[in-house]
Structure formats: C-alpha cells, structure tokens
C-alpha cells in the first residue's frame, strides 16, 4: 500500500489543522470580565434573566440591578453561582 491514501484524516493530521488544540493560541482562553472588549455594554437579556433568578434563589435581591454592564453582571453571576452551589 505505498502511495495510497484512504481519504480519511488521521488524528495527528486533524490536531495539526485544528487551531483549537494549539497550546500557544490564547484567543479562546477564558478572560477576566474586566478584559472584555464589550464589557462596558449593557448586560444581555440572558444575563439579566439568569442574574435575577440567581439573586432570588440566593435571597439576595440587591445583587440584581437592571442597569449593569456585561462585565459586572458576569462577576455577580459567578459570585451567586458559588453562593447557591451552582458553580
């Protein structure tokens, strides 16, 4: 079987061609919300809904404010997830 290929990609070939497995690529790393380029934008509807639910479950209604930005909402969600055992 010299010179013939099966047309299938081997695991090594796939790893070499997949940027997600590049250990030096930090473009997809989890970033601190303070580093987000869109962190100052208003929180999303999904963030608002989840934050409201978590604040109610944690019996901490003061954690929810309707005018938060994305970064602050994310930080509060993370804190409340820990407080409610969801992290």
Q: In order along the chain (87 residues), what is the average pLDDT of each group of 10 residues?
A: 62 66 68 85 96 96 96 95 89
CA angle 35, 55, 57 (to 5 degrees): 135
DSSP type of residue 20: G
Residue 21: predicted pLDDT? 67
Over residues 60-84, the pLDDT tens digits come to 999 999 999 999 999 999 999 999 8
User: What are the start-end ranges of the H helices in the chain?
Assistant: 11-17, 45-57, 70-83
**The model's pTM:** 0.65
Residue 35: predicted pLDDT? 85
CA angle 31, 46, 59 (to 5 degrees): 95
């Amino acid at each position: 079987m010299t010179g013939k290929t099966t047309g299938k990609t081997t695991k090594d070939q796939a790893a070499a061609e997949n940027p997600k497995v590049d250990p030096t690529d930090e473009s997809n790393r989890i970033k601190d919300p303070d580093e987000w380029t869109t962190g100052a934008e208003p929180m999303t509807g999904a963030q608002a809904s989840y934050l409201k639910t978590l604040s109610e479950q944690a019996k901490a209604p003061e954690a929810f404010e309707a005018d938060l930005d994305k970064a602050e909402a994310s930080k509060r969600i993370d804190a409340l997830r820990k407080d409610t055992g969801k992290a």
